[in-house]
Structure 1
Amino acid sequence: MDIRQYLDSTYLKTAQQAGVSEDENLKIVKNTIEEAIAQNFKLVMIRPEMVTMARKIITISGSKVNVGTVIDFPLGQGSTEQKLAEADKAIKDGADDLDFVLNYEGFKSGYINDVRKQVLECTRFCLQHNKTVKWIIEIAALNDHEIVQLSALVKNVILSNFEETFYLSVFVKSSTGFYKTRDGIPNGATLSGIKLMLENSFPLPVKAAGGVRTIEEAKQMIALGVKRIGTSSAGAIVNCFNTGDGGY
């Protein structure tokens, strides 16, 4: 098994969030892209304004690393039109994967049909452009019942409106990694949350994102059945794997 093909190497902080200058933050993004090329990760996940640069660097290198970005990040409360406009620009800039933040607060407030419509229209747009779509449900903001409901909602929209050949191109994703929790509660992928997602999104694939930092945690997620892992620790994970510390 090539663990690198499970890894979406991720850096989504602004300079302000990282506490560095714009130039320093740009250097971090470039280093993340170059590491993804050197390690042959599945994908590098960066902010929308960095997609053009990432595509240029990867194309010049001759690498097959994919470029991913986030849409309506991190709150997911934009309109369908806003999401589609962001997706259109990301695709034109060279993105392969588009990770949309689902309007989980709208869902929790009862606007379920609006959420379904948004999932349908945005997914259709991306699939028409042969892109991979991931729907971030933000499990730290949900209780177990809501995790089940939202995983099933995405699944049912896809199964009801698209042919089976598209199922593996639409993921349900756990987290943005930016949700603020209290009292040290995890804000990303947890084993219990991922299990609920896997059980209720099948046959759609699941991406575990947020808090996966070690080879042991990555192995646990893969053993459960996730197909992609979003992590800012991809380099450390693959280095540990290559040295045999926790490898298969």
Structure 2
Amino acid sequence: MEIHQFLDATYLKTAIQGGISEEKNLENVVELTQEAIQYQYKLVMIRAEYIPVVRDLLNQSNSKTLIGTVIGFHDGRATVSEKLKEAQKAIDLGADELDFVLNYTAFKNGNLALIDEEIIQCTKLSLGNMKVAKWIIETAALTNEEIVVISQRIKELVLAHFKQDAAQRVFVKSSTGFYCTENNEPNGATLENIPLIVGNAKPLQVKAAGGVRDYQMAEKMIALGVDRIGTSSAKQICTQENTTTKNNLY
């Protein structure tokens, strides 16, 4: 299957969140990048401040792995202006793909004008700079009905305001992976919510993120129609794929 080409290998913790030094956090980013080069992941998803370091490492290895970063992370409440400034800075640093956290709180409160503005303006900035835009809807914060509505809304706005081929460069993404749920309920991509996104966002691309930690789940997500998988377990997924492939040969 060459599952490595579906993987956005992710490391988004700050040093404070990880309880480690800034130096150690940088080491973790470098380690992930070297791993990405070895396994040929589609993309490395990191904080914007690490983009120059990662870009240098990828260039030195002539790697085709892309660089992604997050905008409005992780609660999405930044203003449209703030998101545009943050996105432009990431573009200037050399990001290939921008994962915007939708202001899902505003969406739940019915402020659709704000939601429409940020989707249109931030997507316009991304596509205008030949970048990919991904919209994180934070499924754990939404009801199934809200997942359907926002997936349809993003699709309709993109198709109405941009050329048809923009659908190949705009994603609806499930989760940040940082949302705190009650009773340890899943906070990311599940076998229940991904079909809701796929069924209502296509022909836009779909990214399953949050909770995909092994090859079996990654395989199921791809079978459901996702185009990309965001995970902090990319190496494990690739290793398990290799093991599964070898076992199937005997």
TM-score using structure 1 length? 0.98
C-alpha distance in 2, partners of 1:103/1:246?
44
C-alpha distance in 1, partners of 2:136/2:247?
29
Matched to 2:61, the amino acid is S
C-alpha distance in 1, partners of 2:60/2:153?
40
Number of matched residues?
A: 248
Provide the residue aligned with 1:207 in structure 2. Answer: 207
Shift of 1:245: 6.1
Shift of 1:90: 0.5
C-alpha distance in 2, partners of 1:117/1:157?
10
In the TM superposition, 1:2-17 aligns within 5 A as 2-17=2-17
What is the SS of the residue equivalent to 1:226?
coil
Shift of 1:246: 9.2
TM-score using structure 2 length? 0.97
C-alpha distance in 2, partners of 1:178/1:150?
20
What is the SS of the residue equivalent to 1:27?
helix
Q: Quick check: 2:159–2:166 contact (8 Å CA) kept in 1?
A: no
Shift of 1:244: 2.1
Provide the residue aligned with 1:102 in structure 2. Answer: 102
Matched to 1:237, the amino acid is I
Provide the residue aligned with 1:132 in structure 2. Answer: 132
Q: Quick check: 2:77–2:105 contact (8 Å CA) kept in 1?
A: yes
Q: Quick check: 1:155–1:201 contact (8 Å CA) kept in 2?
A: yes
Provide the residue aligned with 1:69 in structure 2. Answer: 69
- Residue 195 of structure 2 corresponds to residue 198 of structure 1: no
Q: Quick check: 1:198–1:206 contact (8 Å CA) kept in 2?
A: yes
C-alpha distance in 2, partners of 1:37/1:85?
30
Shift of 1:199: 0.6
Provide the residue aligned with 1:177 in structure 2. Answer: 177
Q: 1:246 to 1:133 in 2, by over 3 A?
A: farther
Gapped regions of structure 1 (runs ≥ 5)? none
Provide the residue aligned with 2:113 in structure 1. Answer: 113
Shift of 1:247: 8.3
Provide the residue aligned with 1:48 in structure 2. Answer: 48
C-alpha distance in 1, partners of 2:247/2:102?
34
